[in-house]
Amino acid sequence: MLVVMKAQATPEQIRAVCEYIEHLGFRAHPLPGAQRTAIGITGNKGEVDRGNLEELSGVAEVIRVSKPYKLASRDVKEEDTVVRFAGTDAAIGGRNLAIVAGPCSIESREQAFAIAEQVAAAGAQFFRGGAYKPRTSPYAFQGLGIEALRIMAEIRDRFGMRIVTEAIDSESLELVAEWADVIQIGARNMQNFSLLKKAGRLRKPVLLKRGLSATLEEFLMSAEYVMSEGNYEVILCERGVRTFADHARNTLDLSIIPAVQRLSHLPILVDPSHGTGRRDSVLPMARAAVAAGADGIIVEVHHQPEKALSDGPQSIHPAQFASMLNELEQIAPVVGRTLPRGIHVNAVVG
């Protein structure tokens, strides 16, 4: 259910409607829009009686949302969500493309800094690096944990880039939320509902990767889990799905971009690295992703991919990353976008 407030509704009227909803045992999610505020109602206690709600002052109308995902749906919020990063000019969603780059895993301070320096010089606003790695084999490198989080915090201080890193369980979630700027929830955890709910109780943006065989509805329902707990800053990420195709690690499903944009207001990034598993396929798919309307790219970059402890074969060289940005910069205006170069910290954002 969605309560649409009148354009001239006062903050007190909005608060009173939220209190009434909560008093009924439901949860109220005020969602301010350009024209008016809408209040999403969620809860698992059955239907809300719309009659009384319509009587409250400041209410324009009460609408039933038929989709299983509510807060993630465009029915509830028409305008695109833009996730902003306080004190910087960086954003995910909106006109500017977001570029997230860095190694699959943080392997050492030297490795992380060598890569960070080059992706920052090329103009990346976000740095990625795994501290906690969900590996297929328990004998494969599992990540440096807290040490990696500390290294990435140093990278943020030095280069300004905001940090994106994965949390794999409750323990790492708390640490990632404390040290990083964006909490990545990986493909393998897309339906870890207790982890999603926990991330929903935090106030840090969540980058939610599509599960290995998730449908669009399942993907949006996972976003809904995070949002249902009050964290509305969810960034979706297409990273390829399992198919019969064996020429690539996964099949990058770019057709999900327009489908997501039709149904949801949430931004969507594309990961051409995990999406293909092959260095030579990363650039063409990154180009295609921007052309298809993605809000940005998350890509693995390594200065010595042959020595990488994870995902070396799909990691591009820093020089390839720099030329990728040059190409994306040219494609961007065709689809009404701009590719910002570098991040301005403490910039006055107008």
The residues that touch Mn ion, with contacts defined as CB under 5 A, are: 104, 311
* Contact indicator for 112, 118 with CB cutoff of 8 Å: no
Q: Which is nearer to Mn ion, 229 or 311 (CB)?
A: 311
To ligand PEP, the closest distance from the beta carbon of 171 in angstroms equals 18
Output the smallest distance, CB 187 to ligand PEP, in A. 4
Closest to Mn ion by CB, 33 vs 312, is 312
**Minimum distance, C-beta of residue 216 to Mn ion, in the bound complex (Å):** 23
- 209's contact among ligand PEP, Mn ion, none, with CB below 5 to 8 A by partner kind, is ligand PEP
Closest separation in Å from C-beta 91 to Mn ion = 24
Per CB under 6 A, contacts with ligand PEP among 171-190 are: 186-188
Structure tokens at 296: 């940005």
> Which residue, 39 or 152, has its beta carbon nearer to ligand PEP?
152
Does residue 27 contact residue 228 with C-beta atoms inside 8 Å? yes
Enter the tokens of residue 288: 């295609």
| Beta carbons within 8 Å of 127's beta carbon, 6+ residues apart | 100, 101, 102, 116, 119, 120, 152, 155, 156, 159, 161, 162, 163, 164
> In the complex, which residue's CB is closest to Mn ion?
104
Among 72, 76, 104, 112, binds ligand PEP (CB under 6 A): 104
Q: Which listed option, Mn ion, ligand PEP, none, makes contact with residue 30 (CB within 5 to 8 Å by class)?
A: none
Tell whether residue 337 is a contact of ligand PEP (CB under 6 A).
no
Smallest separation, CB 274 to Mn ion (Å): 6
Residue 71 DSSP code: T
Q: How far is the CB of 181 from ligand PEP (least distance, A)?
A: 16
Q: At what angle do helices 193-200 and 216-228 cross, to 10 degrees?
A: 40
Site for ligand PEP in 223-262 (CB under 6 A): 239
- Out of ligand PEP, Mn ion, none, what residue 186 binds, judged by CB under 5 to 8 A for its kind, is ligand PEP
> Measured in whole angstroms, how far is the alpha carbon of residue 220 from the centre of its chain?
12
Given Mn ion, ligand PEP, none, residue 120, with its beta carbon under 5 to 8 Å by kind, binds none
Give ∠ CA 109-276-99 in degrees, rounded to 5.
Answer: 50
* Shortest distance in whole angstroms from residue 227 CB to ligand PEP: 20
Binding of ligand PEP at residue 279 (CB under 6 A)? Answer: no
Q: Which residues contact 67 (CB under 8 A, 6 or more apart)?
A: 73, 75, 263
Which alpha helices (H) appear in 123-255, and where do they start and end?
A: 146-159, 170-179, 193-200, 216-228
The edge-to-edge listing of strands for the beta sheet with 59-63 is: 27-32, 37-42, 2-5, 59-63
State the CB neighbour count (10 A cutoff) for residue 263.
17
At its nearest, how many Å lie between ligand PEP and the CB of residue 142?
A: 12
What lies within 8 Å, CB to CB, of 337 at 6+ separation is: 95, 96, 97, 290
Spell out a b/e string for 35-59, using b for 16 or more CB atoms within 10 Å of the CB, else e. Answer: ebbbbbbbeeeeebebeebeebebb
**Per CB under 6 A, does 130 bind ligand PEP?**
yes
Q: How far is the CB of 164 from ligand PEP (least distance, A)?
A: 9
| Closest to 235 measured CA to CA, from 33, 70, 80, 30 | 80
Q: Which of the choices Mn ion, ligand PEP, none does residue 50 contact, using the CB cut-off of 5 to 8 A by kind?
A: none
- Joined together, the tokens standing for residue 185 give 């929830």
Contacting ligand PEP (CB under 6 A), which of 162, 209, 265, 302?
A: 209
Q: Which does 187 bind (CB under 5 to 8 A by kind): ligand PEP, Mn ion, none?
A: ligand PEP
Q: Which of 274, 302, 303, 337 binds ligand PEP (CB under 6 A)?
A: 274
Binding site for ligand PEP (CB under 6 A): 104, 130, 134, 186-188, 209, 239, 274
